[in-house]
A and B are shown apart, each in its own frame.
Chain A
Amino acid sequence: MSSAERPVLDAHPLDPGRHAEVFPRPGLGVLVGTRKGAWILRPDPARQRWTTEGPLFLGCVIHHFVLDPRNGRTLLIGARAGHLGPTVFRSEDGGRSWAEAARPPAFRKAGPGERLRSVEQVFWLTPGHAQEPGVWYAGTAPEGLFRSEDAGVSWEPVAGWNDHPSYELWTEDPDGAQTTPDGSPLHSIQIDPRDPAHLYLATSGGGVFESRDQGRDWRPLNQGVEANFLPDPYPEIGQDTHCLQLHPAAPDVLYQQSHCGIYRLDRPNERWVRIGDNMPRDVGDIGFPIGLHPRDPATAWVFPMDGTDVWPRTSPGGRPAVYRTRDGGKSWQRQDRGLPQEQAWLTVKRQCMAVDALDPVGVYFGTTNGGVWASPDEGNCWQCIAPHLPHVFSLEVAEFAA
């Protein structure tokens, strides 16, 4: 079906009327995807007072909500429509009107004897390279990679990943007992700003992978990253990468928050360095997200969580804090001013920390108990800017165009 046959809807087709009106205007916004819908938070110029717009798609699971930085107007949402399966919603006017993708991400029909793969979640969305307007990538659970060349209207499987000869080795068996809770996602799709053919991605059952030919072929990139849950704790593949970030201003610098610590890789090196060893021992270096400073490759933020015992994955000791490094991971500083000081068992998921591009940069995170927190001064002090949203699944900053 062509996009021309699909009318642009004033409400999403699954549950019309469940939209609050959004008033697009230029400037900063924070896009929040939750287990029950999407919201847009807008600040005053000082980023001190925030307003909440929404909900959008109330009742839908929103895995990722992303603005296209190439035009400042196109928004894509990776959603799961209740029990009715995964899809992509899109807006070309900053959120005023929405349409469903004409052809959402879907695996090719399985051949005889092949595993029957169907997309359960459109988990991750990445706008393409600046030289490729209209191109987007989507990562799904189970671990699928999809590409759109028409700004998200139609999606095609990236056969170089989905049908790679090593796919079965690199991914989890979706029917197996060891499958990641909530499905094993492909996430953290990163594009080298110097080369649209140079891609990275990560999975929760395989680790980090690199392609230099626009996704036609892939290789693992996991040297030095621990997988202490496997018989060989430093295997070629099998690591559990929680979040991978490529520095936009220094694209040879990669950071990852893994199931087994915080790592940095300076290409062309192949071996990751565990910079989380420099975190305080009583806090540890387990967590899900990692955020990077837009201009300084040595500055990053993490949100440590308790990875001891049965893995509570809450703030260690019930005392939440962001930790920041300004020297590429050699040292870390605790940043908890304004955060609750006790009995606060926050969890922040992998795509729930974001950093804006202002000066000083703003840092944001969203929690599974529905709070969104903001710091307008690079993490020095925090305030809750939306206390009572549903379970936050994703959080991204957006700079809307005029």
Chain B
Amino acid sequence: MKVDIPQPLRGYTKQAQVDAVGSSVDGLLRDLDRQFPGLRFRIVDEQDRLRPHIRIFVNRVRVKSLATQLGENDALQILQALSGG
């Protein structure tokens, strides 16, 4: 499926949109990490919690659980919020 990558993480992917596979958000992030080593740890901490400023949308609907199931035709967006100065 197509995955949109936020600008701060494109240093890993070198592109704004990539293809990845997975039957869940967790599986998809693991596939992304296989393709782009180190990327998952920027999105999820060592306790498998989404980092506070990361937002994940599936078909434009925000999801908060890594266990969220995915279908082949879903579109996934990873966004990074900004705060502070």
Interface residue ranges, A against B (CB under 8 Å): 1, 5-6, 9, 11-16, 81-85, 87, 100, 102, 104, 106-110, 116-119
Contacts and interface: CB of A to CB of B under 8 A. Distances in A.
14 contacts: A6-B38, A13-B38, A14-B11, A14-B42, A81-B8, A83-B51, A84-B9, A84-B42, A84-B51, A84-B80, A107-B47, A108-B46, A109-B47, A119-B45
Interface residue tally on B, bucketed by range: 20 to 34
Given A5-B37, A119-B46, A83 B11 contact: no
B14 to A, nearest CB: 8
B29 to A, nearest CB: 14
Contacts, number: 71
A102 B37 contact: yes
Nearest to A12: B11
B83 interface: yes
Contact of B46 (A1, A11, A118): A118
Contact of A85 (B11, B51, B81): B51
Contacts of A12: 11
Given A13-B12, A14-B9, A107 B46 contact: yes
A81 B12 CA distance: 13
Instruction: Give the dominant DSSP class at B's interface.
Output: loop
B77 to A, nearest CB: 16
A110 B49 CA distance: 12
B61 interface: no
Contacts of B41: 85, 87, 104, 106
B52 A117 contact: no
A14 B10 CA distance: 7
B11 A16 contact: yes
B49 A116 contact: yes
Nearest to A18: B11
A119 B11 CA distance: 22
Contacts of B48: 109
A11 B53 CA distance: 23
A263 B70 CA distance: 59
A58 to B, nearest CB: 12
Interface string B40-80: 01110111110111100000000000000000000000001
A120 to B, nearest CB: 9
B8 A116 contact: no
A13 B9 CA distance: 8
Contacts of A106: 41, 45-46
Contacts of A107: 46-47
A13 to B, nearest CB: 4
Pairs A-B, 5 closest by C-beta atoms: A83-B53, A118-B45, A106-B46, A13-B11, A84-B42
Given A82-B80, A83-B52, A87-B38, 13 more contacts: A1-B37, A5-B37, A11-B11, A14-B11, A16-B11, A83-B51, A85-B41, A85-B42, A87-B41, A100-B38, A102-B37, A116-B49, A118-B46
Contacts of B53: 83-84
Contacts of B11: 9, 11-16
A19 B82 CA distance: 21
Contact of B47 (A5, A9, A110): A110
A10 B12 CA distance: 12
Nearest to B6: A84
A12 B9 CA distance: 11
Contact of A83 (B12, B37, B45, B81): B81
Contact of A84 (B8, B37, B83): B8
Contacts of B45: 85, 106, 118-119
Given A15-B11, A81-B8, A85-B51, A109 B46 contact: yes
Nearest to B45: A118
A14 B51 CA distance: 15
Given A13-B38, A83-B53, A102-B37, A117 B47 contact: yes
Contacts of A6: 37-38
A16 B11 CA distance: 6
A106 B52 CA distance: 17
A81 B46 contact: no
